[in-house]
Amino acid sequence: MIFRLRLRANAAVAATVPLLGLVLLYVLAEEAGGGPDGYWTAATAKAASALMFIAPVVAACAAWEAGRLRRAGVGGGAPVRGGVRIAAASLMPVLLLGLLALAVALAGVRAQMGAAPGWPDPPILGAAVATLGGYLLVGYALGLWLLPAASLPVALVGGYLWQVYPPALEPLWLRHLTQPARGCCVSVDTVAAGGVAGPVLTAVALAAVALAATTVSRHAPRRGAPAPAGLALVVVPALLVATAAGAGAVRAVSDLGPDAVVARPPAELVCTDAAAVRVCVWPEHEARLEETAQVVREAVTGLTPVGVKPPDLVTEHLGPSGEPASDTRWTVTVRGSAGFTTDDIRAGLAADLAMSLLDRHESPRAGDCPADEVKAADEGFEAADQLLAWLAVRAGMDPGQAHARFDPQLWTAVGPVLDGDDAAQAAWYRSALDRAGCAPW
Amino acid sequence: MSVEFDSCTYRYRRGPVVLDGFSFRFPPGRTVLLGPNGAGKTTLLTLGSSSLKPRSGVVTFAGLRTGRRSELRDYRRQVGWLPQQVTPVAGMSCREQVAYAGWLKGMPRAAAWAAAVPALDRVGLAKKADQQTGSLSGGQLRRVGVAQTLVHSSRLVLMDEPTAGLDPAQRTTFRRVVEQLAEVADVIVSTHQTEDLWEVYDHVVVLADGRVHFTGTVAEFHAVAPVDAAPGRVAEAAYAAVLGGGEDW
């Protein structure tokens, strides 16, 4: 009976299968390009990005439902139930469809993640639900004001454009008004507060405008015709709220760049000690902590004799300004997927270390580099590539594996070096750093 | 107990004044509201339904006033309203639409659902309970509208031209509905059809130009007709006599 009265004829029922299918196709196709790697904040943001399909459909269904109430003249039938109750009865299935689609998006992303400690990110989910609410009310207001032939396309196409077009526009922060956590996240990031607050405040502004539009619509089903004073009591505060929320939304996102992210707090790291070095990874990579620690042990063992000072800390955390490493702190990249091998961890460690060493190495004197800038750059980059391959092998990578990963031409120079003793390799390492310094890093 | 209008004034936006200080207490029982087009019948019934609010004046039924927000909900619970235009709710079956009307009138969902088929049965549409209202004929849709006024327990039923578009057999069904309704509720029906007044109604009210020109029993109304009125056309003659010959209307 509830199905017959509330659901059967509701637009949400007809939209369910196409929308859920579209959402699943979207999230599964997206995952093929690189998933959130067990990181729930990234997974939630990915699911929330499906709002570009969900929100316009919710708005269109709400517009259709409002149009049904309008055409049926429900308000003229002297209803006992209030306008909010009547609207809620029609809109609740639509909202449930939106929530279901969001849940399906989240489940689709989750299915691709493998091990994933923790839960979906509540602020992003809350902001996504708020965005849905805003679209729902705007769709409802459109349905009351426009005929279905106009309200449906406006809600569907307009809603979709508002989701996908702002990212193509300047200023960059405009995109963050449209959906939460846009551009979020890789494992070293977390969502910026503005990336959540912006869309929530935008949704509040849209909802307030929709409320004002609904209140003044003569087609709105309601218990009694509102007095002008009553109208003003709703409309004026609603417009004030819309203005304040809109201004707040712009303020919240105006500092954001293309992605609504900030550095992930290091407090989330899980750590272990590998000899004198502390090794830390993100919690979603905890299963590979021991493996990472072993890589670090081997790297320290291989690199210390040739003059590379061992760090105090090896971590996945990049630091607040994204610096890759320092004298006492190396960075490492870990992934949860089985396709990311131990040698991938080792190669990442070597690459970060190489960049760090180059960054910190004093530039050679002018006379030590070729006078020709192009030639100096070529030699510098070649020396950096050799250094990276050498670091990888010294850090414990199997030479055969290293041959497969790096340019074969490098081994003409690096192979004989690796055959030398530690003292010779230390000397080569210092000279390679000097030569690499000739490139314009 | 019946609906009472006290000094009611109403004008449509950018339109003429339809009712100006209108005061009248409808008699209990079955009342037919006659009058020419533009007399104010629809406006009066719409005010009675509380769908419209008088610019000034008071509408009262069973001690409840439409102008008081605290009483409006209870007022509407008591009043069944069939407007001239019955619109199908897109996608709903007859039973769903009637049940939805009951829910709008404050019935719990289960009770509205249960009461929908008996209400459709009373207007002879039980067999079409599962048919989409969008596929009904005009007459059938009007009967769905009547069922919507029956689904909840009204004590006052207002119907604006309910027999327009009904064939003779359907009008017979409608007469039975009004007779049954009168046992539990006051019924006020506006119509242009005068041929079956005697069989259906207790009272006649003639409205023109926003004023009541006649009120009385059907017998009293027929008595207004000229003595030479043709048998079968007594009501028409009475109507013309009340309105002064009819040429102005």
pLDDT digit string, tens, across residues A128-145: 999 999 999 999 999 999
CB contact under 8 A, B109 and A86: no
CB contact under 8 A, B81 and A224: no
* B61: helix, strand or coil: strand
Q: Does A224 touch chain B (CB under 8 A)?
A: yes
In chain B, what residues touch A68 (CB-CB under 8 Å)? 89-91
Residue B18's alpha-carbon distances to A388, B32, B43, in angstroms, are: 92, 20, 7
Residue A345 CA to residue A336 CA, distance in Å, equals 11
**CA distance to partner chain A, nearest, from residue B50 (Å):** 6
Instruction: Tell me what pLDDT residue A15 has.
Output: 95
pLDDT, one tens digit per residue, over B128-142 is 999 999 899 888 898
Instruction: Tell me what pLDDT residue A25 has.
Output: 94
In chain A, what residues touch B100 (CB-CB under 8 Å)? 5
Contact in structure between A263 and A320 (CB atoms under 8 Å): yes
Among chain B residues, CA nearest to A226 = B53
Instruction: Tell me what pLDDT residue A349 has.
Output: 92
The CATH number of domain B4-242 is 3.40.50.300: yes
What mean pLDDT do residues B65-69 have? Answer: 88
Residue B39 CA to residue B17 CA, distance in Å, equals 11
In chain B, what residues touch A94 (CB-CB under 8 Å)? none
Instruction: Tell me what pLDDT residue A366 has.
Output: 59
Q: Where are the domains of chain B?
A: 4-242
**CA distance to partner chain B, nearest, from residue A79 (Å):** 5
In chain A, what residues touch B45 (CB-CB under 8 Å)? none
Residues of chain B whose C-beta is under 8 A from some C-beta in A? 49-53, 66, 69, 72-73, 76-77, 79, 81, 83, 85, 87-92, 95-96, 99-101, 103-106, 109-110, 112-113, 148
In chain A, the N- to C-terminal Cα span, in Å, equals 71
Residue B59 CA to residue B67 CA, distance in Å, equals 7
State yes or no: pLDDT of B205 exceeds 90: yes
Instruction: Tell me what pLDDT residue A223 has.
Output: 65
State yes or no: pLDDT of B24 exceeds 90: yes
Mutation test of the interface with chain B: which of A2, A4, A71, A219, choosing the one with the most B Cβ atoms within 10 A? Answer: A4
Q: Does A76 touch chain B (CB under 8 A)?
A: yes
Instruction: Tell me what pLDDT residue A355 has.
Output: 87
Q: From its phi and psi, is residue B158 left (phi > 0), alpha (psi between -120 and 50) or beta?
A: beta
- The percent helix, strand, coil of chain A (3-state, each to 5) is 65, 5, 30
CB contact under 8 A, B112 and A4: no
Instruction: Tell me what pLDDT residue B247 has.
Output: 47
In chain A, what residues touch B99 (CB-CB under 8 Å)? 4-5
Residue B113 CA to residue A125 CA, distance in Å, equals 37
Among chain A residues, CA nearest to B48 = A78
Instruction: Tell me what pLDDT residue A224 has.
Output: 64
Contact in structure between B89 and A9 (CB atoms under 8 Å): yes
Q: pTM of the prediction?
A: 0.86
**Token pair for A201:** 């405040």
CB contact under 8 A, A9 and B101: no
In this complex, how many residue pairs, one in chain A and one in chain B, have their CB atoms less than 8 Å apart?
78
Using CB atoms within 10 Å of the CB of residue A228, give its burial: 0 to 12 exposed, 13 to 18 middle, 19+ buried: exposed
CB contact under 8 A, A223 and B76: yes
Which of B72, B79, B99 lies at the smallest CB-CB distance from A223? B72
**Intervals of chain A under pLDDT 70:** 1-6, 30-34, 223-227, 319-325, 363-367, 441
CB contact under 8 A, B106 and A81: yes
Which of B53, B73, B81 lies at the smallest CB-CB distance from A77? B81
Using CB atoms within 10 Å of the CB of residue A13, give its burial: 0 to 12 exposed, 13 to 18 middle, 19+ buried: middle
ipTM of the complex model: 0.85
In chain A, what residues touch B145 (CB-CB under 8 Å)? none
What mean pLDDT do residues B156-172 have? Answer: 86
In chain A, what residues touch B66 (CB-CB under 8 Å)? 224
Which of A4, A78, A79 lies at the smallest CB-CB distance from B113? A4
Among chain B residues, CA nearest to A11 = B91
Contact in structure between B34 and B205 (CB atoms under 8 Å): yes
Mutation test of the interface with chain A: which of B79, B103, B136, B150, choosing the one with the most A Cβ atoms within 10 A? Answer: B103
> Out of A310-324, B27-41, B68-82, B140-154, which region has the weakest mean confidence (pLDDT)?
A310-324
CB contact under 8 A, A78 and B49: yes
Instruction: Tell me what pLDDT residue B207 has.
Output: 95
Which of A1, A89, A223 lies at the smallest CB-CB distance from B110? A1
How many Cβ atoms sit within 10 Å of the Cβ of residue B79? 28
What mean pLDDT do residues B154-176 have? Answer: 86
**Token pair for A224:** 């009694």
Please compute, for residue A93, the number of CA atoms within 13 A of its CA located in the half-sphere on the CB side.
23
CB contact under 8 A, B90 and A71: yes
In chain A, what residues touch B150 (CB-CB under 8 Å)? none
**Token pair for A189:** 């990031």
